[in-house]
Amino acid sequence: MMTNMKAARIHSYGAPEVLAYEDAPRPEPGEGEVLIRVQAAGVNPIDWKIRSGQMKDMIAHKLPLILGWDVAGVLEAVGPGVTNLKTGSPVYGSLNMTRNGAYAEYVLAGVSDVALKPTTLKPIQAAAVPVVALTAWQALFEIAKLSAGQRVLIHGAAGGVGSLAVQFARWKGAQVIATASAQNHARLRELGANEILDYKAVRFEDTVENVDVILDTIGGDTQERSWGVLKKGGILVSTVSPPSAETAAAYGVRGELVFVQPNAKQLTEIAQLIDAGLLRLNIETVLPLADADKAHELGQRGQTRGKIVLQVVD
């Protein structure tokens, strides 16, 4: 007999109202999968980009679709062949975005997509970490190979990805130049940024030069104006728009687009940094799962200063 669970899912693409809080079939773990009893689901810009339909040519989804690929919870069951994780373990993870997500009481994950949750974080805090932390980590360390002593310019440093990137780069021993609104400068100084520019008041390209790495979480005009700021041989990594290979070549630099991948090993390293007190998180809003539509309205307005998380159980 099929068991149901509560979920916030979409039957068609559109405005936040297409998110329906309703019964959905509870999944069963297959080979190499685990079933997570969700405690909290993190909300990310990709969630409303997928909900609105703007990603439908890039990621093929079957509707209805449960959104939300950042999760913290407890393992309810493990599928055949899973030996490294046990029922009852507290986990967190960034899930495969081609499948149903974590705006639900239960979600399936691949065994290599989840890691043990940082012990010092509550589930609502842990659920805010995986997507933004893995994006920053993969952009800076896997793609840009950022090393101690290098100079990195982080656009959108006050955002979810940017604020983790500032901390990872400082932890690596890099010099960080950050762009953010004036209201976020004090916080970025606390996170370790060496130089902070108010992008609403100054043009960064007038004062910054010779950087080794740029992390672009903004795209558009910000990306276009960034090329001349790089050293020869430097690299721009964007989270939002594919950098032009021709423009990069003309400047003697490289440009790459990052697309975050689930990675249990990296999440384990990130959990260690969190438990050592080396990373700070900024959670601004916690809403119940039934209010997923409100979470999207709020996030899309772009006025939040920290992460939004949906609490699934108390």
Ligand X SMILES: NC(=O)c1ccc[n+]([C@@H]2O[C@H](COP(=O)([O-])OP(=O)(O)OC[C@H]3O[C@@H](n4cnc5c(N)ncnc54)[C@H](OP(=O)(O)O)[C@@H]3O)[C@@H](O)[C@H]2O)c1
User: In angstroms, what is the minimal distance from the CB of 230 to ligand X?
Assistant: 17
User: In angstroms, what is the minimal distance from the CB of 76 to ligand X?
Assistant: 27
Which residues does residue 151 pair with via DSSP β-bridges, in sequence order?
A: 175
Distance CA 81, CA 244 (A): 43
Residue nearest to ligand X (CB): 159
User: In angstroms, what is the minimal distance from the CB of 180 to ligand X?
Assistant: 4
Instruction: Between 106 and 137, name the residue whose CB sits nearer to ligand X.
Output: 137
Residues that bind ligand X (CB under 6 A): 44-46, 49, 131-132, 135, 155-156, 158-162, 179-181, 184, 199, 217-218, 222, 239-240, 258-260
Instruction: Between 21 and 199, name the residue whose CB sits nearer to ligand X.
Output: 199
The DSSP code sequence of 13-82 is --SGGGEEEEEEEPP---TTEEEEEEEEEEE-HHHHHHHHTTTTTTS--PSSEE---EEEEEEEEE-TT-
Instruction: Between 150 and 184, name the residue whose CB sits nearer to ligand X.
Output: 184
* Token output for 252: 């003697």
User: Comparing C-alpha atoms, which of 160, 194, 163, 198 is closest to residue 182?
Assistant: 198
User: In angstroms, what is the minimal distance from the CB of 92 to ligand X?
Assistant: 16
User: In angstroms, what is the minimal distance from the CB of 155 to ligand X?
Assistant: 5
Instruction: Between 6 and 305, name the residue whose CB sits nearer to ligand X.
Output: 305
* Token output for 99: 């499948």
- Alpha-carbon 267 to chain mean position: 12
